[in-house]
Amino acid sequence: MTCFYTAYGLMIRSSVCLPELEPLPGPVAADVIDLVIDVDQGSLDKYTSSMEFIQITPDEVRLTCSGVGAFLVRQGREVIVTLVPDHDQAALRMLITGIVLAIVLVQRGRMVLHASAVAINGSAIIFLGNKGAGKSVMAGSLHRHGHRMLADDTTVVKLDSVSLMVYSSPPRFKLWPDAIEALGRDSDTLPRLHPDLEKRSLQITHDGTTAMFSLDRLYVLAEGPEPRVVKLSAAAAFIEIVRHTYASRWMTTPDPDHFQQCAALTNRVEVYRLERPRQFTALPAVIQLLEEVHALDFCK
């Protein structure tokens, strides 16, 4: 079965059904398709590693995942999936709509951040941080307080001479069980991201994945004795933006265009360090601080 979707401004033809994406009403002409996702009819033995990048070049990325299969991503235009027998369908969809689409967008020269994002008062804020820094928990907490979730783990910014916008992504949080419990949900009722992982998928609903929101500011998550925000210098902001891009993980050689893109984002948006205790009990105070800061910005 062939399905048609739109995501991040791309027209997608896929041999894998991806209900997390915004469907197109009917078949799309081949000459306007931006990305083709096909399944190789061959099969593979099961992989032992949960995730492994086995080849990275400027034009191609190959990765494998146990229980799912292998993915070849070419030039931001083609994804070829080879599946293991009895593959996990939910994990397959999660990988395609997550890391695989991120690779596609990086290959197409997009600004893709390892970050989560929400909308407050109609504008987007982005949370940057290392693995385990609490990006998803911050976005999930704000969503619980009535703010729209835009992206979790992978945030795509449209950066051009006219606008600075954040795309909505598939409405799903990826959270550890203790974080889910802190957000008032029962983790035992939620599916795992992968059979070998305890991390769960928390599906939410919003108005679709094609909306975009103007970017207000970025926050770099850090630990501190009490909630506060500290504005970063331009030099510090540039470093944080570069190191939290997906492209910086996969570049085999320095890319001047990528660094120029990071510099342009640094020049057009304020970047702050958000310090807070790492206990879940501190979340209400952090949310209150952010709501107060952005209420003041909205009134200006």
**Residues 88, 23 share a domain:** yes
**Residues 53, 172 share a domain:** no
Domain final residue pick, 61, 80, 107? 107
Collapsed DSSP state (helix, strand, coil) of residue 163: coil
Domain around 269: 111-299
**Residues 288, 143 share a domain:** yes
**Residues 84, 125 share a domain:** no
**Residues 87, 225 share a domain:** no
**Residues 283, 134 share a domain:** yes
Domain final residue pick, 38, 72, 107? 107
Q: How far is Cα of residue 264 from the mean position of the Cα atoms in its chain?
A: 20
**Residues 218, 151 share a domain:** yes
**Residues 125, 252 share a domain:** yes
**Residues 289, 234 share a domain:** yes
* Tokens representing residue 200 in the block: 């769960």
**Residues 88, 217 share a domain:** no
**Residues 213, 71 share a domain:** no
- Structural domain tally of the chain? 2
What size, in residues, is the chain? 300
Helices assigned H by DSSP within the chain: 89-95, 101-107, 135-144, 177-182, 234-243, 246-250, 256-268, 283-299
Domain final residue pick, 107, 126, 141? 107
The pTM (predicted TM-score) of the whole model is 0.88
Contact (CB, 8 A) for 28 and 13: yes
The pLDDT value recorded for residue 223 is: 94
Task: Tell me the pLDDT of the chain (300 aa) as tens digits.
Answer: 799 999 999 999 999 999 889 898 878 888 999 999 999 876 555 554 555 767 888 789 999 888 888 999 999 999 999 988 888 888 899 899 999 999 999 999 999 999 999 999 999 999 999 888 889 899 999 999 999 999 998 999 999 888 899 999 887 788 878 888 888 888 888 878 777 778 887 877 765 556 899 999 999 999 999 999 999 999 999 999 999 999 988 766 768 889 999 999 999 999 999 999 989 999 999 999 999 999 866 545
